[in-house]
Amino acid sequence: MTKIAVKFGLIFFAALLVYFLLMRSLDLSDNFDFRVFNGLFQSVIIYLALRTYSRKFPQDWNYLTGVITGVLTSLIGVLPFAIFQILHLNMNVGFMNHLKENVPYIGQYLNPFYASLIVLVEGMAVGMVLSYICMRIVDAMMKKSTIQKEG
């Protein structure tokens, strides 16, 4: 389980990093609506991690191992990205100031640590929900596959 979560978590981190750097280079990083694509990346990566785990270890596959694999994959992807954001926001004061001015309600209280903590918490919350959803999808696909093999 851990090897699969590390592999797909690092792929997720790379996807987040490349996407963020691409948005920065295109001057689109100040449009917060593009965060929706982070969830799309995360859902695909979690699904692939769970599908891989269920195929390699069908005897160990159950609700708990599925959700844990998805959450661990999210953690391994989101944590280094949050650390990257701490460094990035400390070096890029202009972007940090832009966040302070444009994030409603809490913007005035933001600093690089809190902004990165928000990234981490948001990523993990989405990861937990997606882990459950993807686990149910992969589980249903496994059961369908089993029924087809038996029939």
**pLDDT tens-place string over residues 97-144:** 888 888 788 888 899 999 999 999 999 999 999 999 999 999 888 877
pLDDT at 147: 67
For the chain, how many structural domains are there in total?
1
CA-to-CA dists, residue 65 to 26, 126, 135, 146, angstroms? 40, 18, 9, 19
Q: How confident is the prediction for the chain on average, in pLDDT?
A: 90
17: helix, coil or strand?
helix
Is 40 part of any domain?
A: yes
pTM, rounded to two decimals: 0.88
Is 62 part of any domain?
A: yes
Domain around 93: 2-24+35-144
How sure is the predictor about 4, in pLDDT bands with cuts at 50, 70 and 90?
A: very high
Q: In one letter, which amino acid is 69?
A: T
Is 29 part of any domain?
A: no
Virtual torsion, Cα 40, 45, 46, 49, nearest 10 deg: 160
Is 151 part of any domain?
A: no
Percent of the chain whose predicted confidence (pLDDT) is above 90 = 62
Is 111 part of any domain?
A: yes
